[in-house]
Amino acid sequence: MKKKAFLFDLDGVIVDTAKFHYLAWRNLAKEMNFNFTEEQNELFKGVSRVKSLEILLDLANYRATEEQKTRWLKQKNMEYLTFIDGMDEREILPDVVRVLDFLHSKDQGVALGSASKNARPILKKLDLLSKFHAIVDGNDVTAAKPDPEVFLKGGEALQIERSHCIVFEDSIAGIQAAKNAGMLSIGIGDTKTLGEADYVFRDFTEINTDFLINLIDK
């Protein structure tokens, strides 16, 4: 059996936090008198906090001062963290733990590759820290997805070459980042949005053992 690296995004892949990011941005958008839709939110997935605010200001056609931007970034994160506070294991997406445990049982490399600066506290709260050999998050990178940095660092941390890395992602930017890294990409979500990925599954319940074994042996 070969050794591969499996790199997991966090928000919307491991845990159902994408909806909390959306709610917090939507509430901020209201202050700009802007109606932020779920469709527009697809562009925010995988994108860093600072970049997300820039996109929102553009969409809302709103000119903000640097001071206001800093205040809004803080406000958005504080609201997001209140949602996170109320979260428990039920927010872990279906069959994620089954897949993580299976990969561990086959002695595969498992790492987190997330844009979030809140990744570690979220994993800790959900008691998932021990499921990862390495964690690369928003505090470790300078370039945001679709730049490949986060996944390249994940592969490096596990000492596995990029052609042996497999990325699970729910965002357009994240699938592009995996491609830019020269890694196999697996979209978690709908085919319409994630059509660029090598494979797309609605969620991990659709990913069976045979599929994972094939990825390992490829």
Q: Which does 117 bind (CB under 5 to 8 A by kind): ligand BG6, Mg ion, none?
A: ligand BG6
What is the smallest separation between the CB atom of 38 and Mg ion, expressed in angstroms? Answer: 15
Contact letters for ligand BG6, residues 87-116 (x by CB under 6 A): ---------------------------xxx
Burial class (CB in 10 A: 0-12, 13-18, 19+), 171: buried
Binding test (CB under 6 A) with ligand BG6, winner from 29, 48, 175, 186: 48
User: What ranges in the chain are assigned the alpha helix state H?
Assistant: 18-31, 38-41, 49-60, 66-85, 96-105, 119-125, 149-158, 172-180, 191-194, 209-217
Q: Please state, as a whole number, how many other Cβ atoms lie within 10 Å of the Cβ of residue 61.
A: 8
Are β-strands 165-169 and 134-136 bridged in parallel, bridged antiparallel, or unpaired? unpaired
Tell whether residue 52 is a contact of ligand BG6 (CB under 6 A).
Answer: yes
The CA R_g of the chain, rounded to the nearest whole Å, is 17
Q: Are 196 and 179 in contact (CB under 8 A)?
A: yes
Is 11 considered catalytic here?
A: yes
Phi (first) and psi of residue 151, to 5 degrees: -80, -35
Supply the minimum distance, in Å, between the C-beta of residue 17 and Mg ion.
Answer: 8
Torsion sign, CA atoms 176, 180, 181, 184: positive
Would the CA dihedral through 188, 194, 196, 200 be positive or negative? positive
**11 versus 91: smaller Cβ distance to Mg ion:** 11
- Interface residue with ligand BG6 among 108, 118, 176, 185 (CB under 6 A) is 118
Give whichever of 106 and 117 is closer to ligand BG6, judged by the CB atom: 117
Per the listing, tokens 């000492």 go with 159
* CB 170, min distance to ligand BG6, A: 8
182 binds, among Mg ion, ligand BG6, none (CB under 5 to 8 A by kind): none
Q: From residue 131 to residue 170, what is the string marking binding to Mg ion with x (rule CB under 5 A)? A: ---------------------------------------x
Q: Which positions lie near ligand BG6, rule CB under 6 A?
A: 10-11, 21, 44-49, 52, 77, 114-118, 138, 171
Q: Which positions lie near Mg ion, rule CB under 5 A?
A: 9, 11-12, 170-171
